[in-house]
Amino acid sequence: MQSVTREQVLQWLSSVPDPEIPVLSIMDLGIVRDVRMNDEVVVALTPTYTGCPATEVIEQSVLEAIRSHGIINVSIERVLSPPWTTDWISDAGKEKLRNYGIAPPEHAAGKRALLHGERSVACPRCSSIDTMRVSEYGSTACKASYKCTACLEPFEYFKCI
């Protein structure tokens, strides 16, 4: 295997976008659990949720990103436990979401928010918390549609999972 460091691989992975929200990298999402260097490069990934349609696309993108640097022996390991949570999205990733017009998940809200309802969701455009949920589902299952009653702009909220 060509000489490569774990840090180099992590840097390459920081340029692999999430196919559903391309402003985020897979590193921003926190789905890269580990990179191991043996006779091959092994990238451990945790899907955002079971059945996520982007999982296989992400895995293929990871393989292509590493192979584009001349590393041929690469494999993906799916890590299902512990399950991914939106708490793993980096602070930089949350800021990228906000700048992109998507309200990021609240910090440390976790799965309890699914059972007890969301707290106030701030508009990513004007920061008002005078917002209302329009639909539980947005353009993807992991987002909900909201409307800001202050600036009247529609936006999506990345649900806490």
Q: Cβ(122)–Cβ(110) under 8 Å?
A: no
pLDDT tens digits along 8-50: 999 999 999 999 999 999 999 999 999 999 899 999 999 998 7
Residues of the chain with CATH 3.30.300.130: 6-78
pLDDT tens digits along 55-94: 999 999 999 999 999 999 999 999 999 999 999 999 999 9
Q: Which residue has the tokens 């774990």?
A: 6
pTM of the model: 0.85
* Fold for the domain defined by 6-78: GMP Synthetase; Chain A, domain 3 (3.30.300)
Q: Which two tokens stand for residue 111?
A: 């799965």
Looking at residue 142, its amino acid is C
Alpha-helical (H) ranges within the chain are 6-13, 26-29, 55-67, 91-100, 112-116
Q: Is the dihedral of CA 139, 141, 142, 144 positive or negative?
A: positive
Q: How far is residue 138's CA from residue 141's CA, in Å, rounded to a whole number? A: 6
